[in-house]
């Protein structure tokens, strides 16, 4: 049986997704932040629940802003077919993320296998348990939250990151989007800046944050100061803060082998793969 979630189903959904925290953090975070029934916020989702023999066996999500996500144990095509029937007329897919088999089912079920994309990457998925964190030498360094005073610099860094990692084009529109994203990152309060001799040398962020698990994203060091261990210091100090606040796990997906080396240096180990598809690109 597959049905759309209503208010009151939050605990049921969270209990299922928590078992798959390594690949379901976006679904979990969006549920916590926006609940069920929010038709306004871009990151809010309509959730779909499948029950098999009285137990939840799958959760699907359709985001107001065009996200398509799935976490399920079997019969993925059946789940996706139900989701597709539920999308409103004019729905425009923007992004799909998750375990590769989940994304593949979404692409096939929504007829998006040949859709133009600006990014379609399968990246290594990493996990770090609290006890495995390798602390770094922070002499001469400090870590602090970002503030609106940092906005001009962080907007530039966001844009440079998107050009380098996500393959976006350099336009006035994309600059405006990354500027707004920098504002949101500062306002959410999960971004941290590594400072050396009063100079900001790296940034790190949590793009999803649950009491038990954090998901790192937006780790960035400007090209001019790379190779100095700044990223691993920023990440390790940020995770130490999160673990002290009660988190037990950290996950991330890595865009390059250079980044992966930095993550392994602080204790992360590869546990699988994670796919990110951003629709768009050349028509």
Mean pLDDT, to the nearest integer, of 48-70?
96
DSSP 41: S
For the chain, the average pLDDT equals: 94
Structure confidence by residue, pLDDT tens digits, 23-46: 999 999 999 999 999 999 999 999
In this prediction, residue 164 has a pLDDT band, given cuts at 50, 70 and 90, of: confident
Partnered with residue 192 across adjacent β-strands are 145, 204
pLDDT for the residue 192: 97
Compute the residue count for the chain. Answer: 283
From start to end of the chain, where are the E strands? 2-4, 45-52, 55-63, 67-72, 95-98, 117-129, 141-145, 192-196, 199-209, 213-220, 249-253, 269-279
Structure confidence by residue, pLDDT tens digits, 233-249: 999 999 999 999 999 99
pLDDT for the residue 281: 61
pLDDT for the residue 258: 86
Structure confidence by residue, pLDDT tens digits, 260-273: 999 999 999 999 99
Which residues lie closer than 8 Å to 229 by C-beta, 6 or more apart?
Answer: 136, 262, 265
Cα(227)–Cα(224) distance, integer angstroms: 9
Cα(238)–Cα(234) distance, integer angstroms: 6
- With 0-12 / 13-18 / 19 or more C-beta atoms within 10 angstroms meaning exposed / middle / buried, residue 103 is buried
Is this structure's pTM higher than 0.85?
A: yes
């Amino acid at each position: 049986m597959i049905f759309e979630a209503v208010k009151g189903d939050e605990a049921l959904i969270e209990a299922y997704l928590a078992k798959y925290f390594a690949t379901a953090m976006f679904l979990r975070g969006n549920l916590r932040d926006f609940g069920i029934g929010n038709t306004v916020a871009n990151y809010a989702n309509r959730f779909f629940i499948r029950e098999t023999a009285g137990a939840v066996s799958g959760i699907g999500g359709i985001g107001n802003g065009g996200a398509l996500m799935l976490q399920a144990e079997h019969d993925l095509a059946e789940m996706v077919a139900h989701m597709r029937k539920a999308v409103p007329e004019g729905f425009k897919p923007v992004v799909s993320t998750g375990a590769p088999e989940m994304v593949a089912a979404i692409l096939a079920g929504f007829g998006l296998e040949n859709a133009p994309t600006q990014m379609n990457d399968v990246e290594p998925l990493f996990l770090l348990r609290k006890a495995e964190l390798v602390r770094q030498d922070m002499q001469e360094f400090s870590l602090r939250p970002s503030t609106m005073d940092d906005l001009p610099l962080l907007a530039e860094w966001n844009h440079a990151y998107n050009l380098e990692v996500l393959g976006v084009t350099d336009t006035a529109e994309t600059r405006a989007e990354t500027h707004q994203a920098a504002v949101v990152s500062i306002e959410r309060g999960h971004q941290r800046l590594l400072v050396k001799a009063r100079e900001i040398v790296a940034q790190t962020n949590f793009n999803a944050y649950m009491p038990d698990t954090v998901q790192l994203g937006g780790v960035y060091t400007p090209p001019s100061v790379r190779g100095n261990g700044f990223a691993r210091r920023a990440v390790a100090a940020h995770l130490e803060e999160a673990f002290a606040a009660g988190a037990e796990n950290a996950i991330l997906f890595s865009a390059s082998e250079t980044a992966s080396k930095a993550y392994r240096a602080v204790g992360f180990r590869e546990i699988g793969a994670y796919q990110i598809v951003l629709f768009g690109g050349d028509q």
